[in-house]
Chain A
C-alpha cells in the first residue's frame, strides 16, 4: 500500500465531484500509487539541472496587439442551453 496518503475527499470537493465511499477507497489507493511514482523523482540529484517552466525549450511566442474578427453573437450563443438579451443565462450565482 501507498505510504503517501492522498486526500481524495478534499480533491473531489475542489473539483466538484461527488464520490461514493467505495470510490473514495479505490481512488485513494490508485492516486496514492501515482504519487509514489512521482516521489521517486525526489530521489534524483537535480542540483546540476537548470529549472524549466515548460517541457519545450522555447520562449516568447507572442502576437502583436491587433484586432481580429470575433464570432457573430448568434454563433457565440448557439450552444447555450439558455440565453436572453444577448447574455448566457445560468443558475443564479452569488459571490
Chain B
C-alpha cells in the first residue's frame, strides 16, 4: 500500500453457532445432509408457524460477548428484517436491530495471529480492534443456481447465526487477517463454533475505503463479498485497496458499491451500486418476547474459557518456554491441550515443547493427521524426554524411538528395550572405547595437545561411531578430556 494513502476497513463476521438444534425450531443442524431433510414449518417459513428461542444460542452469544469484553445488554429483543429473496420465504429474517445482546468490546491482535510473512513487520503491536456489536439472527437457506432456475435447500435456514461487527479500526489486509485469526481462535476456545470458513461456519464481509493521508473524512465505502478464507480476505483487501488508490490517482470518483471477490482471478467485480441498496424496514417481531439476560448470565460466566492469549502467558510462566513457542502451542486448542498433558508429567517441559513443535508437528503433517488423531500418548512423549534427560538414551536414539512411537503407538521404554537401544553409560566400557580411539588417531591427539580444542569433537565422533551411537555423549566427552589431559 502506498504510504500517502490510508485504508479504513471494517468487518462484519457471521458465525454459525454449534448448537444441536436450530435457533427457533427443533430441527437438527447437520452440515452436508441431504437437502431439505432437516426442515419443519417454522424454518420453512410456513404461515402460522411460531418461533421459540433456543436458550443455548443466547448463552453462546453472551459468552462470546464476555470473551471480547462487550457490554451484555440487560434486555434484548428480536426484530424482523424485511426483504424479498427465496432463501427466506417468510420475507423477513429474524434478527436484532436496536437492542442486540452485546455492544462495544474489542478483539486483541497478537503477533502470531498475523500472516507468517508479516510477523516481523507489525505496524501496531498489541493493537485492539473495537467492536460495535454482536447480535443473534437466523441463517437463511442455501441457493443452488442452475442454467434457468435456482434450487433451495432449507437445511441451513434457521441455524443460529451470530453477527460480529467491528469498528472501522483495521488499517491493512494483514490486520484484517490477524483480526479474523484471533476471532476464530477465541470462538473455538469458547466452544461456541467450529468457525471453519470453508464450511461457511464463519463468513466475512468487508467494508473498505481509502483516502489520501492528509484528508480527514473517510473515503467512499466499498463492500466486498464472497470471501471464503482468511487468506482470501487478505488478498481481496490488498487488491481492492490498490484498485481504489489507482482509481483516485487517475482522478476517478469512486462510488458506493458492493463488489464480489473472485479468488481464482484475484480480482473484485462490481455486483451492485448504492441505488439498489436495501431498506429493511425493521420492526419488533411480535412472535418473540424480549429477553432479560440476567437469568442465564451466571451460567455463562461459569463457562468463560482460559483464552489463548492468557494461556500463552501461563505456559511461559509455568513451563519456562519462550513466548513464541507458547504462542504456537496455544494457537491450536487441541495442540495446547496435548502439550499440557505431556508437560505436566515431564521433568523438563521445555524438552517436551521442543519435541511437540519440531518432531510431532512435522510427523503429524507428513501423516496428514490432526492433533486429535496423534498416535503418541502425551504421557509417552513426556517419558521419552525423561529417558533422554536421564541419559538412558541419547538424543539421536530419541529420534529413532520417537519415529517408532509414532508408527506403533507403543511406550518408549518398550521400544528402547525391544531395540536394545539403551545408552551405554558404563564408565569402564566407555573408557575402553576412548582409549582405543586415542591410540588409533595420533594426529588428532597431537592437534588437541597443540591447542586445537576442536580436535576433540572428531575423537568424540569416532567413539560414538564405535559404540554404534549408544554411548552417552556427555560421558564420552568427559572421559576423553580426562584421558587427553593425562589426569
Contact = CB atoms under 8 A, between A and B. Distances in A.
Contacts of A88: 36, 86, 151-152, 154
B39 to A, nearest CB: 5
A43 interface: no
B26 interface: yes
Tell me the interface secondary structure of chain B in the complex. Answer: loop
B57 A68 contact: no
Contacts of A71: 39-41, 44
A65 B56 contact: yes
B28 A67 contact: yes
Interface in B43-98: 44, 52-58, 75, 77, 82, 84-86
A44 interface: no
A93 B20 contact: no
A93 B148 CA distance: 9
Interface in A75-95: 76-77, 82, 84-95
Contacts of A85: 35, 151
Contacts of A77: 36
A73 B37 contact: yes
Tell me the interface secondary structure of chain A in the complex. Answer: loop
Interface stretch (B103-111, B138-146, B176-184, B386-394): B138-146
Contacts of B271: 95
Given A65-B55, A84-B151, A92 B145 contact: yes
Interface residues of A, number: 36
Contact of B289 (A54, A68, A69): A54
Contact of B55 (A63, A67, A94): A63
A61 to B, nearest CB: 5
Contacts, number: 127
Given A53-B99, A64-B56, A89-B149, A76 B290 contact: no
- The winner among A58, A63, A64 for most chain B CB atoms within 10 A is A63
B440 to A, nearest CB: 75
Nearest to A63: B52
Given A64-B56, A76-B36, A53 B77 contact: yes
A62 B153 CA distance: 26
A87 B144 contact: yes
Interface in B294-328: 295
A53 B25 CA distance: 22
Given A60-B295, A93-B86, A70 B149 contact: no
Contact of A67 (B26, B58, B286): B26
B55 A64 contact: yes
A66 interface: yes
Nearest to A65: B56
B284 interface: yes
A62 B151 contact: no
Given A54-B290, A59-B292, A71-B39, A91 B149 contact: yes
A74 to B, nearest CB: 10
A92 B27 contact: no
B35 A86 contact: yes
Contacts of A94: 145
A18 interface: no
B148 A67 contact: no
Nearest to A74: B36
Contact of B84 (A16, A54, A95): A16
Contact of A61 (B40, B148, B152, B289): B289
B86 A61 contact: no
Contacts of A64: 54-56
Given A53-B284, A61-B289, A68-B26, A92 B54 contact: no
Given A14-B279, A85-B151, A70 B28 contact: yes
Interface string B409-428: 00000000000000000000
Interface of A: 14, 16, 53-56, 58-71, 73, 76-77, 82, 84-95
Given A53-B284, A67-B27, A90-B150, 18 more contacts: A14-B281, A54-B77, A59-B289, A60-B292, A61-B288, A63-B55, A64-B56, A68-B21, A68-B25, A69-B26, A76-B39, A86-B36, A88-B154, A90-B152, A91-B149, A92-B148, A92-B150, A93-B145
19 contacts: A14-B279, A54-B284, A54-B286, A56-B289, A59-B75, A60-B295, A62-B54, A64-B54, A65-B55, A76-B44, A76-B154, A85-B35, A85-B151, A87-B152, A88-B152, A89-B149, A91-B150, A92-B145, A93-B86
Top 10 A-B pairs, shortest CB-CB distance: A68-B26, A87-B151, A65-B56, A62-B55, A86-B35, A88-B152, A53-B290, A53-B77, A67-B28, A63-B52
